[in-house]
Amino acid sequence: MGTQEPAHALVWEKLPNLPDAEGFAGMYAGVAMDTRTGESCLVAAGGANFPGKPLWEGGSKRWTDRAFMLTLGATEWEEPVKLPKPMGYGATVSLPQGVMFIGGCNAEEGVFRDCLLISLSGGALQITPLQPLPVGLTGHAAALLHDKVYVLGGSLAPGEQDAQNSLFIYDPAVDAWSEGEALPAKGRFLHQMAATNGTLYVLGGIGIKPGENGRMVRDMLTEAWAYTPHEGWDRVADMPRFCAAAPTPAPVSPQGIIYLLGGDDASVKGVSSPQNHPGFHSASLSYSPMSNAWREEGPIPAARAVLPCAMWGGKAVIFNGEQRPGKRSSEVWAVSF
């Protein structure tokens, strides 16, 4: 592994909390540009939490159809619309046309193919159905490269029963999907993706492998892969440690450095109950494509997992997420590079 030059220090600031005491994990979130005024806003929607009893007391997970909007300078989130149905654990990409919600799952349907565009016009949010995914996915990740949306991995069913390595490509110009070259490695879910300088990156995540008594168990992946449409896949430097479920699409600094902010490093083992879980780690990693090198970036103030990220006004915004299994956060943070 090469040596990466020191990155710029990260500067964190809190944005207004979402107006829900529990917060959500597995949200969709991004930035929508107003087609009339040119102003932009944050959109955060969907996800799931445990609004009654906590997980360790037998509480049930509940998916939400709530959708929130935050305009520049506002001190409170608005709740102007509802999603067509409760949904979460999909993927999100911010497009010039609006925020694209891609697949996911809920309690009633399980995994679904639905895709939505959340756009902004005259200060009002609008929800438009898009061409569905070729297959239903949950736990997948997505990133925008050359005006197209690339979706990789995920599971066809809830409950960590499988892990895919398929690559699907969405062209917003024609509202159509195509299938790209599959990742030449194990399928994965809760991985991180980013795009910079004409290249797509797939980082870490969780695979599935046989365990004892024929049960499938998690395979903690440290592989990192780069993809370009003309050259296909190339393996790059492995991560120095396992990381999954960090904010994704992973933020990229102006210098082209990719950051993994928190997530799950699988360092907590042998916990008898989610109630006794100490919380996800607060460490961060960065990857420099130029030097093909990883770097430990130190602690962060928002140790979370299973959450989206969006770039807004030159800052990376991360939304809610799990503090520990069954326990969410309602906090929203912005990071400057």
Q: What is the pTM of this model?
A: 0.95
| Amino acid type, 226 | A
3-state helix, strand and coil shares in percent for the chain, rounded to the nearest 5: 5, 45, 50
Q: Each residue of 104-162: pLDDT tens digit?
A: 999 999 999 999 999 999 999 999 999 999 999 999 999 999 999 999 999 999 888 89
Residue 277 CA to residue 49 CA, distance in Å, equals 17
What SS3 state is found at 81? coil
Question: Domain locations in the chain?
Answer: 11-336
State the pLDDT at residue 1.
45
The phi, psi pair for 55, rounded to 5°, reads -55, -45
Q: Are 134 and 154 in contact (CB under 8 A)?
A: no
| Amino acid type, 222 | T
Residues of the chain falling short of pLDDT 70: 1-8, 270-273, 279
State the pLDDT at residue 270.
64
Q: Which CATH superfamily is domain 11-336 in?
A: Kelch-type beta propeller (2.120.10.80)
∠ CA 333-321-100, nearest 5°, is 85
State the pLDDT at residue 284.
95
State the pLDDT at residue 285.
96
State the pLDDT at residue 141.
98
Q: Each residue of 4-45: pLDDT tens digit?
A: 455 458 999 999 999 999 999 999 999 999 988 999 999 999
Residue 318 CA to residue 230 CA, distance in Å, equals 32
State the pLDDT at residue 324.
86
